[in-house]
Amino acid sequence: MPLKTYWLEHAWLGTHVEPGVALDATDDGRISALRIGVETPPPGAEVLRGLTLPGLANAHSHAFHRALRSTVQVGSGTFWTWRDFMYKVAQNLTPDSYFALARAVYAEMALAGITAVGEFHYVHHAPGGVPYADPNAMGEALIAAAAEAGIRITLLDTAYLSAGFGEAPNPHQLRFSDGTADAWAERVSALKSREHALIGAAIHSVRAVPAGELATVAGWASARRAPLHVHLSEQTAENDACLAAHGRTPTQLLADHGVLGPRTTGVHNTHLTDADIALLGSTTTGTCMCPTTERDLADGIGPAVRLQRAGSPLSLGSDSHAVIDLLEEARAMELNERLSSRTRGHWTANALLTAATEDGHAALGWSDAGRLEAGALADFTTIALDSVRTAGALPRLGAETAVFAASAADVRHTVVGGRHIVRDGAHTLVPDVPTALATTIAALRG
């Protein structure tokens, strides 16, 4: 028997919008049946007016960066001056304060229709690098925060061992480092997956993990068939330093040490050579684009079209959380490419939504999510079609409306595992998300 029946006024089914869809969710949180042509809500059904999509997947997040919003928009500067602000916030985190902040940030994500997050987590230890009594206290805080906010998480526990190509960590980075990749692997092996949480791995970057340690991280992920993510060629300075140290690009260095492959995702992939693009495509290594962060930090526009054509699946992330809005990330990927190429229509709205849903979930190890179909996880979100941004469009063009007009503010419902997490625009588990954000961020500022 279904736990609950939802009646979807309009549903995006991957290729088109279907009116009048009944969705049955079982008590184990999966879709048991999807029936089209249901013109009126069945008796007892939960009615979702608007356009229902599979839940959105935020494939790249640093939860504590949410505390930087607005502060780092003052004046000018570079990625490297932005990083100095980031270090100051990181120094003030404790397991308790990180739990409180992340709970509020993940609740903000749920309000934006996000049902799964990939948390690229590298603040592991106390300031100075001393492990907590539980060496995974910070990671466990993030897992607990996602549970309380009602969303799924892939904790991408990150190896971060060096200040740059063999240099010892600077004082700010000591709490990020386990010393060696073997010590990192020993610590992360104690983390366990659970119903709402998967454990994956990450290499912070080629500058932060010495070349001789890369294979250890990649081997850990391969042995567990776990997702492996890596910041890749986000900055030209990183490329130049890698060429000077190793005589090859970061992409080639990763390939030489067995990092690339279908369970690996490069984040940003902004400044690539033709050979880099061919390597990533031929190994089906994924690409996570984070356009709102990439433009905020003036990083550049990555070659997403060429990467996808070469064979690299695309996903999307909000990264530094300049905004948390996966619809904006999807829109920005297309519009950035239009500005760069001066041509329109590089992706259809369906393709952009696929990057934000199914392909994002796949990059995070949730292969049974991101689709509205029987057997998939009952994770979905509903966007209003009658707001000031979305009113007037034809319902059958709902995908175009969602990508090119709607925003996170138009999310009315978010359901995870068949459970209503956001109802009529209000979070059901965290009653006052704005206050929670303001309070926890103010505490970190001291």
Residue length of the chain: 446
**C-alpha atoms less than 13 angstroms from C-alpha of 56 in its C-beta half-sphere:** 34
Of the residues 157, 276, 319, 359, only one is catalytic, namely 319
Q: How many whole angstroms from its chain centre is CA 266?
A: 12
Of the residues 60, 268, 321, 413, only one is catalytic, namely 268
Q: Specify burial of residue 73 (Cβ count, 10 A radius: 0-12, 13-18, 19+).
A: exposed
Encoded tokens for 436: 């929670």
C-alpha distances out from residue 220 to 175, 188, 215, 223, Å:
22, 10, 8, 5
Distance separating alpha carbons of residues 304 and 247, to the nearest angstrom:
25
Distance separating alpha carbons of residues 115 and 343, to the nearest angstrom:
33
Per-residue b/e over 184-199, b at no fewer than 16 CB within 10 Å? bbebbeebeeeebbbb
Per-residue b/e over 396-431, b at no fewer than 16 CB within 10 Å? eebbbbbbbbbbbebbbbbbbbbbbbbeeeebebbe
Catalytic: 125? no
Distance separating alpha carbons of residues 247 and 136, to the nearest angstrom:
36
Encoded tokens for 26: 């079982």
| Strand 4-12 to 46-54 pairing | parallel
Phi–psi pair at 87, nearest 5 degrees: -60, -40
Distance separating alpha carbons of residues 339 and 320, to the nearest angstrom:
23
Q: CA torsion, points 71, 389, 268, 367, in degrees to nearest 10?
A: 120
C-alpha distances out from residue 84 to 68, 76, 90, 137, Å:
11, 13, 10, 24
Distance separating alpha carbons of residues 232 and 267, to the nearest angstrom:
6
Catalytic: 325? no
Residue 122 forms beta bridges with which residues? none
Phi–psi pair at 50, nearest 5 degrees: 115, -155
> First CA to last CA across the chain, in angstroms?
52
Distance separating alpha carbons of residues 438 and 434, to the nearest angstrom:
6
Catalytic amino acids? 268, 319
